[in-house]
Each structure stands twice: as structure tokens, then as C-alpha cells.
């Protein structure tokens, strides 16, 4: 990610259902696949009582193409049927970033 130019973030917040069989394998497959998509910039994820995954993209078109990618569509459907009780997707434009890092 380039701190000198704007880009987009897709924030996926979710709560799992009791049935998570196959979820971890699919999540790993989707992350690997996302990394091959044109416009993909990076990903961050954390899970406790809720999960938050943020993927970063060069453009809204790149996000749209990822949402419509065939294998991703299958994963989305499986998530609705089996793995999630609730989720929310937010798409944001990142105007600026900065960070702190301690050695």
C-alpha cells in the first residue's frame, strides 16, 4: 500500500454460526485467490467473538471484480448457508495512512 495515494478498503465484519466445518480451508483458499486478483493490495484479519477482515484494493472496479469472481461467489453462498449468522460489508476510501513501529 502506498501512503501517498488513495486506495480502498473492504471491511468484512461477521459472527459465525455453530457450523464452521470447512470454513478455515475456504478462508485460506479465498485469501490465496484474492492475492492473485488485479488490484489487490493486501489483507488483515482478526477473529474473537466477531471476525474482522479488511482487504485493500486499488479501485472500486477491482473490488467489483473480486465480488463477482466465480470461486468467491461459491464461498459467499456457502457462508450465507452455513458459516455466518450475521455479516456486514463496508467499502471505504483510504485518503491517508500513517503508522508507528517500535523495533
Q: What are phi and psi of 70, to 5 degrees?
A: -55, -50
In this predicted structure, what is the pLDDT of residue 103? Answer: 87
- pLDDT tens digits for range 45-79: 998 889 999 999 999 999 999 999 999 999 999 99
**What pTM, to 2 d.p., does this model score?**
0.90
Q: Which three cell numbers stand for residue 47?
A: 477473529
Residues 6+ apart with CB under 8 A from 10: 54, 55, 56, 57, 63, 89, 90, 91
Q: What are phi and psi of 85, to 5 degrees?
A: -90, -25
Domains and CATH numbers, the chain: 7-94 (3.30.70.100)
Amino acid at each position: 500500500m502506498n501512503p501517498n495515494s488513495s486506495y480502498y478498503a473492504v471491511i468484512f465484519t461477521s459472527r459465525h454460526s455453530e457450523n464452521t466445518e470447512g470454513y478455515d480451508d475456504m478462508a485460506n483458499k479465498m485469501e490465496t485467490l484474492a492475492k492473485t486478483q488485479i488490484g489487490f493490495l493486501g489483507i488483515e484479519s482478526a477473529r474473537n467473538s466477531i471476525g474482522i477482515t479488511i482487504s485493500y484494493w486499488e479501485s472500486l472496479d477491482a473490488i467489483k471484480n473480486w465480488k463477482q469472481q466465480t470461486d468467491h461467489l461459491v464461498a459467499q453462498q456457502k457462508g450465507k448457508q452455513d458459516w455466518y449468522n450475521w455479516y456486514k460489508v463496508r467499502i471505504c476510501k483510504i485518503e491517508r495512512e500513517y503508522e508507528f513501529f517500535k523495533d
